[in-house]
């Protein structure tokens, strides 16, 4: 029995449906009462009573004997239009413990009958600045999805898409070249260094551009004032950046001022790289980008995240796949011209309700045409993404591709699915899942990668580590601090804080709250897991199933509640995974942890004298440990047997 709770509810449902004359089976359902006093299960009778035009009492009299004939049912009672059902703990516990015995450490996770092949693409941050807290949410969610699906038995490949084409990277590379391709100063992480070069170069370029515009706007006082105030803004960013590395900044500044037409230099760089026409440029781009990626990998390894594949966007462009997509698109009847460049128009296909449904698009959303190429013949991001999406499906023979991408890209992701569909990649279009999440903000900070204004994920993680280290020192001043454990707890706390909240909700990440190790946190769960583990070890080996006193929960509310919760876990997990909802797993194990903590304080396990009852308790603890452990694993967090 892999899902004990579902087994029992199904059994009850079947008994009713075969025992009572019911026209519309959807009128009958088994639900969970809001409070333990109202039973373990409840069946609302209102709808059925209305449909059958009979009284609640009459219905109850009809249901009662059927329910009472089920061996797992202890008693039933009519209360306020509901049949409240109490399960027989001695029966339920046998089912649960048998399941625990046979699935062992894997209890809670039910493998799917037919595994699917999933590609999960996540993080994929632009290689021009360090990972920030938003990338952290992406990483935490992506890792959770990857882990969940793997546990459920699917075959999963994780990918990181390196967006190395495009203007931002070209600007960074320009700065990098002007500085002579410098290695990071001692003690500076690679991506932080690249982030600095990018921001400094960008800010200086913007200042130079703005100054020219200001010259031209002397005749227009309003515009002049506006531009000057924008310049002030930029100047303060520049001053802040200069402060960090004055020599580098000044050198960049003077070099850039000496370039007559910066735009054409940037564009030359972009073309040289994308078309692979200039070997030096190619080498330079790769050197700079890889430097940044090296930094990313260090942060990700802190987060205990590793990717199966790293894909360069440039490789997609070089492979010819993009050309192929373009030529397919050009033959499409939906080509329109927007200011001379070809674009794919969606207005026709969006008239189809069926297509909207298949591609999970809102009923009324209007989607602007997708421009296919720039007038200088270079390609655009979304078009390259069409080629990349196909590649992800093809290379892994994937059934589904999940893109973990910020909600602000919803429209672009919709365009992507539509374009795939229109070009004949219907299966791909329908099975491309945009797993979107909302912004993360830090209180009081306006972040901007372009201006070099950000708090890096590294800084957040480091503060977390320091904080945890302090707490551990304070709690156990006489013991040595296990640095590995401290790091793991700190990093898990951040991951949990970012993956345990509905991704559709904007999030203000407060360091103090995420690091509050008291409750609703990974540390609390890790601690509870370790404690359950320690209890199990001290209690001795798990007894065999016929040594257990199954009546031990008969008149014991806490044991009964815990048992019920454990019995539900596999079902909760399966549904959460199938719905791609890591937050449901997070809240389930949190409630279980609370329940477990309140139970074992008042109901000793090791000191229990009655061997049958002790065995019962050991199985409960074993169940708790398995469920919390697998819940954490599902979230991409490794449980620790000792803290």
Q: Which of residues 495-514 bind RNA (CB under 7 A)?
A: 501-502, 504-508, 513
Give the span between the Cα atoms of 540 and 545, in whole angstroms. 15
Tokens of 519: 């409750």
Which of 445, 341, 323, 449 has the alpha carbon at shortest distance from 386? 323
Among 417, 531, 568, 625, binds RNA (CB under 7 A): 531
Report the phi/psi class of residue 166: left, alpha or beta, with left for phi > 0 and alpha for psi in -120 to 50: left
Of 375 and 555, which CB lies nearer to RNA in the complex structure?
375
DSSP calls for 76-90: EEEETTEEEEEE-HH
User: Within 431-460, which residues bind RNA (CB under 7 A)?
Assistant: 438-439
- Asked whether position 126 contacts RNA by CB under 7 A, the answer is yes
User: Within 354-373, which residues bind RNA (CB under 7 A)?
Assistant: 362-366, 368, 371
Q: Do the beta carbons of residue 32 and residue 41 sit within 8 Å?
A: yes
User: Within 535-594, which residues bind RNA (CB under 7 A)?
Assistant: 535, 538-539, 575, 579, 583-584, 587, 590-591, 594
Which residue stretches of 441-521 are H helix? 457-475, 483-499, 511-514
What is the closest distance, in whole angstroms, from the C-beta atom of residue 168 to RNA in the complex?
6
User: Within 150-169, which residues bind RNA (CB under 7 A)?
Assistant: 163, 165-168
Q: Which stretch binds RNA (CB under 7 A): 57-65, 195-203, 250-258, 602-610?
A: 602-610
Of 318 and 527, which CB lies nearer to RNA in the complex structure?
527
Report the phi/psi class of residue 304: left, alpha or beta, with left for phi > 0 and alpha for psi in -120 to 50: left
Among 111, 209, 287, 338, binds RNA (CB under 7 A): 338
Of 288 and 501, which CB lies nearer to RNA in the complex structure?
501
Q: Do the beta carbons of residue 30 and residue 13 sit within 8 Å?
A: yes
What is the closest distance, in whole angstroms, from the C-beta atom of residue 589 to RNA in the complex?
12
Strand partners, 42: 31, 84
DSSP calls for 301-366: HHTT---SEEEEHHHHHHTTHHHHHHHHHHHSTTEEEETTEEEE--TTGGG-HHHHHHTT--SS--
- Asked whether position 307 contacts RNA by CB under 7 A, the answer is no
Of 99 and 163, which CB lies nearer to RNA in the complex structure?
163
What is the closest distance, in whole angstroms, from the C-beta atom of residue 71 to RNA in the complex?
22
User: Within 12-51, which residues bind RNA (CB under 7 A)?
Assistant: 31, 33-35, 37-39, 42, 44, 46-47, 50
Of 108 and 127, which CB lies nearer to RNA in the complex structure?
127
What is the closest distance, in whole angstroms, from the C-beta atom of residue 509 to RNA in the complex?
10
Of 114 and 602, which CB lies nearer to RNA in the complex structure?
602
User: Within 79-98, which residues bind RNA (CB under 7 A)?
Assistant: 79-82, 84
Q: What is the CA radius of gyration of the chain?
A: 30
Tokens of 466: 């320091």
What is the closest distance, in whole angstroms, from the C-beta atom of residue 582 to RNA in the complex?
11
User: Within 373-432, which residues bind RNA (CB under 7 A)?
Assistant: 374-376, 380-382, 407-412
Strand partners, 406: 437
Secondary element (H or E) of residue 191: helix 190-216
Tokens of 579: 């719905």
Residues found in the chain? 643
Among 183, 229, 327, 339, binds RNA (CB under 7 A): 339
DSSP calls for 203-231: HHHHHHHHHHHHHHTTT-HHHHHHHHHHH
User: Within 460-489, which residues bind RNA (CB under 7 A)?
Assistant: 468, 471-472, 475, 489
Among 313, 321, 428, 458, binds RNA (CB under 7 A): 313
User: Within 167-206, which residues bind RNA (CB under 7 A)?
Assistant: 167-168
CB proximity list for 210: less than 8 A, separation 6 or greater? 227, 230, 231, 234
Of 327 and 364, which CB lies nearer to RNA in the complex structure?
364
- Asked whether position 53 contacts RNA by CB under 7 A, the answer is no
Which of 456, 486, 487, 489 has the alpha carbon at shortest distance from 473? 486
């Amino acid at each position: 029995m892999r899902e004990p709770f579902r087994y029992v509810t199904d059994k009850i449902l079947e008994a009713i449906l075969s025992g009572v004359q019911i026209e519309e089976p959807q009128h009958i359902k088994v639900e969970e009462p809001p409070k333990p006093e109202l039973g373990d299960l409840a069946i609302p009778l209102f709808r059925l009573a209305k449909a059958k035009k009979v009284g609640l009492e009459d219905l109850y009299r009809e249901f009662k004997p059927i329910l009472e004939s089920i061996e797992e049912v202890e008693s039933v009672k009519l209360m306020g239009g509901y049949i409240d059902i109490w399960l027989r703990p001695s029966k339920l516990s046998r089912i649960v413990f048998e399941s625990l015995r046979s699935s062992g450490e894997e209890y809670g996770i039910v493998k799917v009958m037919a595994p699917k092949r999933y590609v999960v693409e996540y993080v994929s941050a632009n290689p021009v600045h360090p990972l920030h807290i938003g990338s952290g949410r992406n990483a935490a969610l992506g890792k959770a999805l990857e882990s969940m699906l793997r546990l459920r038995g699917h075959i999963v490949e994780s990918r990181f898409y390196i967006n190395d084409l495009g203007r931002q990277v070209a600007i960074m590379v320009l700065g990098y070249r002007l500085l002579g391709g410098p290695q990071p100063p001692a003690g500076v992480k690679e991506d932080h260094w690249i982030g600095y070069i990018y921001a400094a170069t960008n800010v200086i370029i913007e200042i130079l551009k703005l100054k020219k515009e200001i010259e031209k706007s002397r005749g227009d006082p309003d515009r002049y004032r506006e531009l000057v105030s924008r310049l002030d803004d930029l100047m303060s960013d520049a001053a802040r950046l200069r402060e960090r590395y004055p020599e580098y900044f000044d050198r960049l500044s003077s070099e850039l001022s000496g370039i007559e037409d910066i735009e054409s230099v940037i564009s030359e760089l972009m073309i040289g790289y994308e078309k692979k026409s200039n070997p030096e440029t190619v080498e330079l781009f790769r050197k700079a980008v890889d430097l940044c990626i090296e930094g990313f990998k260090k942060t990700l390894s802190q987060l205990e995240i590793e990717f199966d594949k790293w894909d360069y966007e440039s490789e997609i462009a070089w492979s010819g796949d993009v050309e192929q997509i373009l030529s397919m698109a050009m033959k499409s009847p939906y080509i329109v011209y927007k200011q001379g460049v070809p674009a794919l128009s969606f207005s026709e296909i969006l008239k189809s309700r069926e297509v909207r449904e298949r591609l999970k698009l809102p009923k009324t959303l209007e989607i602007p045409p997708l421009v296919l190429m720039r007038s200088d013949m270079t390609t655009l991001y979304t078009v390259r993404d069409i080629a990349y999406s196909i590649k992800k499906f093809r290379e892994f023979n994937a059934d589904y591709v999940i893109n973990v991408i910020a909600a602000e890209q919803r429209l672009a992701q919709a365009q992507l699915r539509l374009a795939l569909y229109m070009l004949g990649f219907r299966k791909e279009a329908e099975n491309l899942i945009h797993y979107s999440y909302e912004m993360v903000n830090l209180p009081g900070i306006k972040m901007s990668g372009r201006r070099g204004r950000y708090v890096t994920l590294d800084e957040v993680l480091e503060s977390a580590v320091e904080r945890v280290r302090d707490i551990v020192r304070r709690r156990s001043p006489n013991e040595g601090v296990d640095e590995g454990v401290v790091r793991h707890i700190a990093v898990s706390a951040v991951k949990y804080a970012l993956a345990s909240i509905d991704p559709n909700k904007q999030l203000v990440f407060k360091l103090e709250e995420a690091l509050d190790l008291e409750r609703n946190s990974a540390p609390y769960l890790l601690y509870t897991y370790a404690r359950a583990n320690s209890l199990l070890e001290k209690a001795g080996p798990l007894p065999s199933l016929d040594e257990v006193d199954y009546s031990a929960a008969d008149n014991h509310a806490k044991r009964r509640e815990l048992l019920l919760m454990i019995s539900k876990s596999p079902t909760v997990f399966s549904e959460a995974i199938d719905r791609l909802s890591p937050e449901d797993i997070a809240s389930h194990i949190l409630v279980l942890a609370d329940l477990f903590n309140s139970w074992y304080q008042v109901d000793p396990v090791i000191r229990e004298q009655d061997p049958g009852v002790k065995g019962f308790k050991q199985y409960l603890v074993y169940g708790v440990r398995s469920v919390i452990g697998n819940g954490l694993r599902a979230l991409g967090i490794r449980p620790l047997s000792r803290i």
